[in-house]
Structure 1
Amino acid sequence: MREHLTIVDHPLVQHKLTLMRDKATSTAGFRQLLREISLLLAYEVTRDLPMTTMTVDTPLQEMEAPVLKGKKLALVSILRAGNGLLDGVLELIPSARVGFVGLYRDEETLQPVQYYFKVPGDLADRPVIAVDPMLATGNSSAAAVQLLKDAGATDIRFLCLLAAPEGVARMKEAHPDVSIITASLDKRLNEKGYILPGLGDAGDRMFGTK
């Protein structure tokens, strides 16, 4: 059983996250840092993927060498901000299948509203990594994971940049079998459901919108 919450405290991850938190960081800089940090986080989220071996011929001799086992994993971006993490992880795992879950948060109720869902087939046979930079209230994340389970997924990991204690608790209540990998567990949510100290709205900072 994987740990429910893993905080990646690697020095490069923490350094890049600090630069992303800085409100003076440009849109282009934020986007580049997000791509870089997602590569580093991808190492952790894929650490326990199942392995097997295959026979290869090196220049010197034949050997049994380790390779990933089973069907290629699926990466699922929770739109729109998830695409920033998706791009980086795809650089590391270019053969992964890709899906998208479109959810937005009703600013009055803070509840998720679905507007799009398209994922690879055979999710039951694939490790699934759901990506979204922010785990805030946890409502949208829990809803997205439930949609993936309804589509057949049984091995799901959730990858995010930042998590709030409230979001971690919500996910653990709704999906105790889903591990969360993040670069930081921040202090709390404010009255509008934003993570403090956080880094603002990840989608707005990534795409230069308000």
Structure 2
Amino acid sequence: MAGTGNVIVVDHPLVQHKLTLMRRKDQPTTDFRRLVSEVSLLLAYEVTRDLPLETIEIETPLEPMTAPILAGKKLCFVSILRAGNGILDGMLDLVPSARVGHVGLYRDPETLVPVEYYIKVPDDLGERLTVVVDPMLATGHSAAAAIGRLKQAGAKKIRFVCLLAAPEGLAVVAETHPDVTVYTAAIDRQLDSHGYIRPGLGDAGDRLFGTK
């Protein structure tokens, strides 16, 4: 991994290989969805690297032993609808006991400002590591708005995971939420005039769900 400030780029060879396959415009929806799930599992591995452990007494088939197990409340994954669900599925494969929340936001096509239409999260967010997931960190406004709402709901320790980030989006999150670390597979060049990441991979939601 490579990290500067509040950004960690997961540069594992398998992540980079699968990301390249995802970027290809001729990648079918089924394969794109599978690749997102696979990369998400690998990103989940990195974002949970420092989860606290405690020890318990167990018995193996051969003898008793003291062994490590996750301590305290399980973490919570929060998906920014709808595209975040593509990442959520892969992460739950790795941490099936995690709690799950959802924040519904859409980006106004004229102003690019996020509009909230739904939020449902566990009551005890303050006692859990909260991992917010969305494939693309573009303008950063949706991510910043979602993180702000989660803080209002009690979240104290938040991390953000995405497949791709633009420098503009990273700057917005760093300015509005300097306590939040962003995990991403790559930082692309820039945003275009429509708020799309370049070179990017297109609209992740449309490619995940075959809606365009």
Q: Deviations over 1:156-177 (max 9, x none)?
A: 1101000000101100001111
Could you tell me how far apart the structure 2 residues matched to 1:108 and 1:51 are?
Answer: 47
Structure 2 counterpart of 1:60: 62
Structure 1 counterpart of 2:211: 209
Deviation of 1:59 after TM superposition, in Å, equals: 2.5
Structure 2 counterpart of 1:170, which letter?
A: V
Pairwise mapping of residues 58-97 of structure 1 onto structure 2 (< 5 A)? 58-97=60-99
- Secondary structure of residue in 2 paired with 1:83: helix
Could you tell me how far apart the structure 2 residues matched to 1:64 and 1:165 are?
Answer: 46
2:167 to 154, 165, 171: 165
Structure 1 counterpart of 2:36: 34
Deviation of 1:198 after TM superposition, in Å, equals: 0.3
Structure 2 counterpart of 1:182: 184
Could you tell me how far apart the structure 1 residues matched to 2:5 and 2:121 are?
Answer: 26
What stretches of structure 2 of length at least 5 have no aligned partner? none
Q: Deviations over 1:89-144 (max 9, x none)?
A: 00111111111000000111111000000011100001111000000000000000
Structure 2 counterpart of 1:59, which letter?
A: P
Structure 1 counterpart of 2:58, which letter?
A: V
Could you tell me how far apart the structure 2 residues matched to 1:174 and 1:63 are?
Answer: 47
Output the TM-score relative to the length of structure 1. Answer: 0.97
Could you tell me how far apart the structure 1 residues matched to 2:81 and 2:107 are?
Answer: 11
Structure 1 counterpart of 2:107: 105
Deviation of 1:3 after TM superposition, in Å, equals: 5.2
Deviation of 1:65 after TM superposition, in Å, equals: 1.2
What stretches of structure 1 of length at least 5 have no aligned partner? none
Output the TM-score relative to the length of structure 2. Answer: 0.96
Sequence identity of aligned pairs in percent?
A: 66
Could you tell me how far apart the structure 2 residues matched to 1:48 and 1:135 are?
Answer: 23
- Secondary structure of residue in 1 paired with 2:160: strand
Higher alpha-carbon deviation: 3-12 or 19-28: 3-12
Deviation of 1:51 after TM superposition, in Å, equals: 1.4
Check if 1:6 corresponds to 2:5.
no
Deviation of 1:189 after TM superposition, in Å, equals: 0.4
- Secondary structure of residue in 2 paired with 1:153: coil
- Secondary structure of residue in 1 paired with 2:67: strand
Pairwise mapping of residues 103-182 of structure 1 onto structure 2 (< 5 A)? 103-182=105-184
Deviation of 1:64 after TM superposition, in Å, equals: 1.8
Structure 2 counterpart of 1:37, which letter?
A: V
- Secondary structure of residue in 1 paired with 2:184: strand
Check if 1:45 corresponds to 2:47.
yes
